[in-house]
Amino acid sequence: MDEHFITPAFNPSPNQACFCGSHLAFAQCCGSTQSHRQPPHSVHIIRGFLDATTTEKWVGLLDKKRGEKTGLKQGGEVVVSDKRVAERVFLGPVEKKLTRLMRKVFTTTIPQAMACDFEWFERPQIVRYPVGGHIWLHADNENYIKERKAWRKTSDRDVSLLLYLNDDFDGGELSFYAMNYVYKPRRGDLVFFPSDHRYAHRAHPVTSGRRYAVISWGAFRDAPRVHARPTNNCIFL
């Protein structure tokens, strides 16, 4: 096991200095439980990034499409699991427009916000969460090693992205467990954050309606790599 990719579990106490460098206690900063608080450090939310006309058009198309069940990777295979209840939906010709938009996000929007440079991003996916649809708490690039109380990096994802296409549903909140932060999706909002376990997150069950989100991940240029080569669905920048 490569120790370079092992990280002690992020488990800050309320009174310790916040990891963001604000010199405030964690409970008064990124770990605050106050309502109407600001997002934690490095969780970026751009309101109305995608205009209402486009989101309405895309959702209208998506509602007519059948979805494919998604799952979790186990031993190199995707296995349908009750920890992830969602469907992948394809937009046909609109997929090209979506990919161009994501290219802009990974070359301009996120680099400006996070002062970073990407080598590639994963081809964007559109996911539909029906009633009961959810994803259990997880990190996008690490797995927990129980016996070591540590996390091991398992993918080369560095930044995670969500673009919400609708908000006419109940439930479906996005929560960051360690930060005590809950975000209620709004149509057109772009959300991005580091992929490591500090930002382990959960998509809560949809209780009525259906929830559409675009998801993708990007890898920093010249960052240490877990794998010798990227996955086949990567788009180089």
Other Cβ atoms within 10 Å of 28 Cβ, number: 13
The pLDDT of residue 83 is 86
Q: What is d(CA 45, CA 162) in angstroms, rounded to the nearest whole number?
A: 10
The pLDDT of residue 96 is 94
The domain spans of the chain are 44-236
H-assigned helices in the chain: 52-62, 94-104, 110-114
Q: What is d(CA 174, CA 158) in angstroms, rounded to the nearest whole number?
A: 19
Please name every residue paired with 134 in a beta bridge, in sequence order, or none if there are none.
Answer: 85
Q: What is d(CA 63, CA 174) in angstroms, rounded to the nearest whole number?
A: 22
Q: What is d(CA 132, CA 210) in angstroms, rounded to the nearest whole number?
A: 9
The pLDDT of residue 4 is 75
The pLDDT of residue 151 is 97
The pLDDT of residue 120 is 98
The pLDDT of residue 75 is 57
Structure tokens, 123: 């081809």
- CATH for the stretch 44-236: 2.60.120.620
Query: Could you tell me which of 55, 19, 37, 48 has the C-alpha nearest to residue 183?
Result: 37
Structure tokens, 208: 């009525």
Q: What is d(CA 32, CA 81) in angstroms, rounded to the nearest whole number?
A: 32
The pLDDT of residue 69 is 84
The pLDDT of residue 77 is 61
Amino acid letter at 15?
A: N
Give the single-character DSSP code of 17: B
Along the chain (237 residues), what's the average pLDDT of each consecutive run of 10 residues?
83 97 97 96 99 98 92 62 90 92 99 98 97 96 95 97 99 98 98 99 98 98 94 95
Other Cβ atoms within 10 Å of 202 Cβ, number: 17
Task: Check if the beta carbon of residue 134 is closer than 8 Å to that of residue 213.
Answer: no
